[in-house]
Structure 1
């Protein structure tokens, strides 16, 4: 910080005072209203100095380290632009006693560094005005405004590209066999957990704000896509089993229990059991040995001593329904191979166009 004051006339070229002599002179009681932490530089001696020149100018220079408060709006984070201000005014002398103003230079504050690790300085402005305090009165105030733009390179490499690859990795399950249950479940669950961990690490270094940020929209969308890929596998797996247990209802369970009981009675009666039928047929409970390929035959003895072999329901009759379910599951996977990348590509176009072009990042 450097303060300057004009004096009427002097009879010498220049006078300089060191830090020890500065303490015995009067200095303005200026302070920074938006300061949070501040410290003087005292290594190896207090870094402050007075200089009185022949053209009647008194310069007071001191080295300070300041941490200033800056209200940030993170709606577009990490595509955001921030404006931070530095205010300087007298604490005890009002505007009638001290009038502060910037020097007539184009840049009163040196701008040697215009790029920071996370931000880039894209503009600055300097102004002086009067601040009206209800108790203290009217004071002269200096204001310096700095416009920052966040550097997005770090976030592209550390956040956007990894999450993009994780989403694409979750689509690999669409090319795996439907019956590869352990592989597809493991791939889907790990993708969901990785996206959740990545989102938590992003928000850990940010203030806890109640509104949605641009990075939140990206992370939430990626989480939805990897979770949808896991749900798609569940649907495909259900389709493969569609029809394989068709007819296993209470009525068939009762009928199955009845057949088991009848077979037990037939074994007790040396394999023969007679039963009456409304159509005048007599059924023999013995079962022929022709049960290859899941076919069972029942011997039917008619009243006129005729014999008829009646084919029972084959277990292979369920095979067409099972194959139909497998076909539906394959269609679901093929549709997902096209639909998921297409929708995600549309989201990327809208997302990047909006935050880079529309917001003039």
Structure 2
């Protein structure tokens, strides 16, 4: 209750005997927030006023019929906007204690003021969404860098990944610790997945590129081998090869092709002329 400089109350007695008493009180009221949709969440806070000692037959609370709840529109909150203020009743049956072993149930008159809040997204848009979105776009720049420039692409991918992790940890540090995932957590998870996929894409491309270069080297080595050239000449002049190319092949032609295949697969053995050498690769 306000008592500066004197107790702030007012008592009025009407001609018909009605006694009106009012006082000014300042209350600090907590509100349970649901942060599932943070930072695009809407909160519902309420204030209940009821008698603790008197039941509804003794004390009946009612709202004024005209402007029961008034608030100063010039006073706002840093993060929220007051979207709606409404009044309602919360009359009901409540259980209260008489002694430590005795309880009683009674009907109580109750007033409830509802305050609906909407969070302003401007701060989070500038501090969270835009920076993380730009970091993801920067990670996509690696797609236009030459795949042979390994240091440049790896450095860019790891730098964006570390920057995104640092930014996310710094912004989540000031948020209340809850047991469920918030909307901002899902956003950071999606951004982290895009950056990680960009890094994984380069790893796969580099692996396939090295494998392709290895097989190109093997094919060039075989193409320059004297045994390979001599075998191709034999296959070109053999009737079995012509029959195979026309889709007609018999048992005799199949045996001839198997003989050439065994001869070609004998890596590390000479054909008698000392022209063949084993082909080593990893």
Q: Aligned pair 1:118/2:79, yes or no?
A: yes
Matches within 5 A, 1:177-188: 177-188=146-157
Q: Matches of 1:165 and 1:217 in 2, distance apart?
A: 17
Count the aligned residue pairs.
Answer: 220
2:172 is the alignment partner of 1:203: yes
* Distance change in 2, residues 1:314/1:96 (3 Å): closer
CA distance in 1, matches of 2:190, 2:49: 45
8 Å Cα contact 1:47-1:63 kept in structure 2: no
Equivalent position of 1:58 in the other structure: 20
Q: Provide closer, same or farther for how the CA distance between residues 179 and 97 of structure 1 changes in structure 2, counting only shifts above 3 A.
A: same
Q: CA deviation at 1:234?
A: 1.1
- Give the alignment of 1:338-357 within 5 angstroms: none
Other-structure match for 1:106: 67
RMSD, matched Cα: 3.2
Q: Which residue of 1 aligns with 2:29?
A: 67
Residue 267 of structure 2: aligned partner: none
Match of 1:343 in 2: none
Q: Please give the alpha-carbon distance, in whole angstroms, between the structure 1 residues aligned to 2:155 and 2:144.
A: 15
Q: Deviations over 1:165-188 (max 9, x none)?
A: 000010111122223222221211
How far 1:74 moved relative to its partner?
A: 2.5
CA–CA distance in structure 1, aligned partners of residues 2 and 19 of structure 2: 25
User: What residue in structure 1 maps to residue 236 of structure 2?
Assistant: none
Q: CA deviation at 1:57?
A: 4.5
1:168-247 superposed matches below 5 A? 168-246=137-215
1:99–1:178 distance in 2 versus 1, CA, 3 Å: same
The C-alpha deviation readout for 1:94-131, integer Å capped at 9, x for no partner, is 21221111222224333434742211111121122423
Where in structure 2 are the equivalents of 1:242-261 lying within 5 Å? Answer: 242-246=211-215
Name the CA distance, whole Å, in 2 between partners of 1:98 and 1:52: 19
Which residue of the partner structure matches residue 37 of structure 2? 76
Render the CA deviation track for 1:60-106: whole Å, top value 9, x for unaligned.
Answer: 22231312233x33232222211111001112122122111122222
Which residue pairs with 1:128 in the alignment? 89
Greater strand percent: which structure?
A: 1
> TM-score, normalising length from structure 1?
0.53
Q: Secondary structure at the match of 1:66?
A: coil
Tell me, yes or no, if the aligned pair for 2:69 and 2:86 is still in contact at 8 Å.
no
Aligned counterparts of 1:115 and 1:222: Cα–Cα separation in 2: 33
> Helix, strand or coil: the match of 1:242?
helix
